[in-house]
Each structure stands twice: as structure tokens, then as C-alpha cells.
Amino acid sequence: MSRPEVIFVVGPTAVGKSAYAINLAMDAGGEIVSADSMQVYRGLDIGTAKPSAAERAAVPHHMIDVADPWEDYSAALYRDAAMEAIVEVLSRGKRPIVCGGSGLYVHALLYGLDFSGGTGDPALRERLKKEAEDGGAIELYKKLEETDPQAAARIHPNNVKRVVRALERASGSLEKEGIRRFEHSFEGTVGYEPRILRLTMERALLYDRIDHRVDDFLANGLVSEVAGLLAAGIPRGGTAIQGIGYKEIVTFLDGDIDYNEAVSRIKQNSRRYAKRQETWFKRYTQAEIIEVESSLTEKNRRVV
């Protein structure tokens, strides 16, 4: 008996994944399983470009607003909950459509990564700290960029403590040599047949969309959203508040940079993140490549 098909819509930030997945779901009778490591947090709405209420009413969405912003939500927690959502959607005869740009989340659903033992391992932690001491913080940060680009986008390269923590969470199966190489984890173990659709776009157009999206976030109240989170007691060092768009606004609200500098940093960090996402998803050589060429209009301006 053939395995059920699960569609994955992946690609860099602002390429239009959400709109594409929603249209696909409406045509194919599907439901969307988000693979975005920031949309899991309640209260982070504007800066994460969560689907609107109308979009979520039109197509059921899963794995959005499943964690409080003071939690340190992990890829392991995501994998377990998202797999349950996929099974649930399939059980109702619907088509699961995984949509998102968080590479490690996508990879966990494609290849069933084993995260057991990866968090809080003292021996691994000491080895990573020793690597930073011997080879420098930047070299350890490069390892994080390869292993989990989403986490790397939130962490300063010189913050060794947070880099080590992120590498612990993303370590997967711990081998004697240390962290398992990403390339060794392409042996599928999931119980469905994945079909990967990788959205791409000409670089200049993508960057233009990123810049316009950041402007929209700010016009729609991103600063107020971040201020509200801080007022609610969300720790500045927490994972949720370290996302792109949030950490820069926190720095602005703390008076360390001016507003224009904050905006510039959000756009620059978003472009850098998009490049890392493209590098990550290019590794899926079995993916069907979909070139997105639409211009930025009022109709398609809201993108993910």
C-alpha cells in the first residue's frame, strides 16, 4: 500500500510561501501545518507575518500559537506536535501542506530527526565551549549557521553561551565525534511520501519584497507589539524576543540605537537570513523548483 503524500512548501522569507500554500490548500482540499519557528509563539503576530484571521478561517492552520513567548520552544517539541497534526489531517482524508522557512523544523518532518539526548548534555556542552576557546567564537558560530540558520539569525556570533545552547538543542543524535553532520541526516524515516516545492525568486525582487514587508510591519504596529511584550515581562534574552524584527526593536526601545538604524538592521538581517534559507533548501535536490516572478503590488504585497 502506497504511503500518503505530504506537500512541503519551502523557500526564503518574503518569497510568497503562505499565499502559495493557501491557494494550494483551497484547490486540493488541504490543511496547512506551519513550519515557522517564530509563529509558534502567541502574541508575536505582526513581526512573524502570521496568516490573517480571514486566511485561517478559509484554510485550517496548525502549529501556530502553540507556545507562550516566555517558553524556549525547541525543534524536538515542534517535530512531535507537527507529526501529530499531520497524522490528524491525514486521518480526516485531507492533504497536509507543510509551509515555512525554518530549515530545522522542515528537516525534522522530512527525515524524522532524533533529538533525544541533545538538550542539556554536559559532555557536549563542554566540548563546544572548548571548541570556542581553541578555534574562536566565530568558528563555533559558523557551525550553528550550518546546523540551524534560524537560530543563528537570532544570536550574536560572540554570544558563545547562547551559541552553545542552540547547538545543544539542534544536535540530534550525539555521536562520539560531536554533532552529527547535516549531510548525514538525509535518510528518510517518516511514514509518508514528501513532495517538496521550493519557491525561488530573482534576488533583487526578493530583497525589494523584504524591504516593503518590513515597512508594512512597522506601519501595522510592530513597535507597539514589541513594547507590549516587554511590558508583559517577556525576558529580553528569551528565544521569542530574539527573532528578526523583535530584537532590533528591543534595542531601539532600550535607547541603544535610533529608529532608522533599527529599521535598517531589520532589513539587513532579513536579507541575510533569506540567503541562509536559500542555501539550506538548495540541499533538497529532489525538490520541484517554482520560480516566483510576480511584481510587488497591493494585492500580493503581504507575503511570508
Q: Which three cell numbers stand for residue 216?
A: 508594512
Percentage above 70 pLDDT, the chain: 86
Residue 33: phi, psi to the nearest 5? Answer: -110, 110
Question: Taking a C-beta distance cutoff of 8 angstroms, is the pair 170, 188 a contact?
Answer: no
Give the range among 37-46, 185-194, 206-215 with minimum mean pLDDT.
185-194
Q: Determine whether domain 5-113+185-292 maps to CATH 1.10.10.10.
A: no
Task: Report domain extents, the chain.
Answer: 5-113+185-292, 122-181
Of residues 286, 78, 267, the one with CA closest to residue 170: 78
Task: Identify the pLDDT of residue 206.
Answer: 97
- Asked if the model's pLDDT at residue 68 lies above 80, the reply is yes
pLDDT, tens digit (0-9, with 9 covering 90-100), for 82-104: 999 999 999 999 999 999 999 99
Give the span between the Cα atoms of 180 and 190, in whole angstroms.
Answer: 19
- Asked if the model's pLDDT at residue 31 lies above 60, the reply is yes
Q: Which fold has domain 122-181?
A: Histone, subunit A (1.10.20)
Task: Identify the pLDDT of residue 30.
Answer: 97
Confidence band of 298 (pLDDT split at 50, 70, 90) = very low
DSSP string, the chain: -PPPEEEEEE-STTSSHHHHHHHHHHHHTEEEEE--TTTTBTT--TTTTPPPHHHHHHS-EESSS-B-TTS---HHHHHHHHHHHHHHHHHTT-EEEEE---HHHHHHHHH----TT-TT-HHHHHHHHHHHHHH-HHHHHHHHHHH-HHHHHHS-TT-HHHHHHHHHHT--SEETTEEPPGGG-----SSSEEEEEEEEE-HHHHHHHHHHHHHHHHHTTHHHHHHHHHHTT--TTSTGGGSTTHHHHHHHHTTSS-HHHHHHHHHHHHHHHHHHHHHHHTT-TTSEEEEE-----TTT----
Task: Identify the pLDDT of residue 72.
Answer: 83
Question: Taking a C-beta distance cutoff of 8 angstroms, is the pair 216, 298 a contact?
Answer: no
> What's the rounded mean pLDDT across residues 105-119?
74
- Asked if the model's pLDDT at residue 118 lies above 60, the reply is no
Chain mean pLDDT for the chain: 86
Q: Which three cell numbers stand for residue 220?
A: 501595522
Confidence band of 237 (pLDDT split at 50, 70, 90) = confident
Task: Give Cβ neighbours of residue 276 (< 8 Å, ≥ 6 apart).
Answer: 145, 149, 152, 153
Q: Which three cell numbers stand for residue 271?
A: 536579507
Q: Which is more confident, 236 or 258?
A: 258
Task: Identify the pLDDT of residue 239.
Answer: 86
Task: Identify the pLDDT of residue 175.
Answer: 34
Give the span between the Cα atoms of 86 and 192, in whole angstroms.
Answer: 10
pLDDT, tens digit (0-9, with 9 covering 90-100), for 157-202: 877 888 888 887 766 433 333 334 444 556 666 789 999 999 999 9
Task: Identify the pLDDT of residue 145.
Answer: 83
Task: Identify the pLDDT of residue 268.
Answer: 97
